[in-house]
Amino acid sequence: MAKISVMGSSVGYWVYEPVEAPADAPTVLAVHGFRGDHHGLLRIADHLPGMRLVMPDLPGFGRSAAFESEPHTVDSYVEFLHGFMAATGLGADTVLLGHSFGSIIASHFVAADPDAVLKLILINPIAAPALEGPKGLLTRLAVIYYQVSARLPERLGLAVLRSPLIVRLMSITMAKTRDPQLRRFIHGQHHSYFSAFANRDALQESFRASVGSNVREVATRLALPVLLVAGEKDEIAVLKDQHLLLSELPHGTLCVIPDVGHLIHYETPEPAAAAIRTFLEEPPA
């Protein structure tokens, strides 16, 4: 792990280098989802051995401190990515990857600065407003959960947010695999990292950002090649919305992975990585 200061936040990040990197090996900057950290994307990284991956923990999560004076909004995270890329020397030949909430941050980053990266990869992209469609009920329940935890005394509110029972229920709801060993791994990952947020305010602000924005808001401004990797059974980023998002992208490609939901990064990393490799082998439009 390396440390760097961006926007007043001490940021932890990891760089995974191929053992024998070809001269044209791509560099992928990977942005994790809400409540997670870089660990969530490691299984996909394992299946991309010929690439250089740079994986920060977003401010407020994992080994990165919360923003000192900025709210944890999409705009702040977009500004963070600009600062992080500048501080680590990542240029316009970088490929940007975002999972779930990370897809919102990554797409809004590209919309604000179209020439900042070479290509964009969105895994389980949040393609529509969170309160629309069949996922709306789940979102409303989540909103109530975060509202209740915000109104409680801080110590009790944190206990509710970090409740192992609630984290397990979230994990069970999202996991689609029937493999008992893989399910145990997924639950273990969520138990270890889903509560590693800096403080209650940062988590509450990030949650509001995650349900208040989506990728389709900026789809027509994403002029670079974009790969969407979607789960057939995703109840958070439903497949119908992925097709609508694809129709609005100037240069979009959609890969649908069967029998998986919102945990492509845990359950089906190999086909996701295969789609990424194919996408990156194609010349930019």
Give the H or E element holding residue 98.
strand 95-99
Give 28's strand partners: 53, 95
With a cut of 50, which residues of the chain have pLDDT below it?
Answer: none
Task: Report d(CA 72, CA 66) in Å as an integer.
Answer: 8
d(CA 207, CA 209): 5
- The pLDDT assigned to 70 comes to 95
The whole-angstrom separation of Cα 8 and Cα 181 is 41
Q: Provide the token pair at 166.
A: 């609630």
CB atoms within 10 A of CB 196: 17
How many residues are given for the chain?
285
Q: Cα–Cα distance between 60 and 205 in angstroms, integer?
A: 10
Is residue 138 within 8 A of residue 235, CB to CB? The reply is yes
Query: Which pLDDT belongs to residue 202?
Result: 96
CA 200 to chain centre: 20
Q: Using CA atoms, how far apart are residues 277 and 47, in angstroms rounded to an integer? A: 10
Model confidence, pTM: 0.95
**Residue 257: predicted pLDDT:** 98
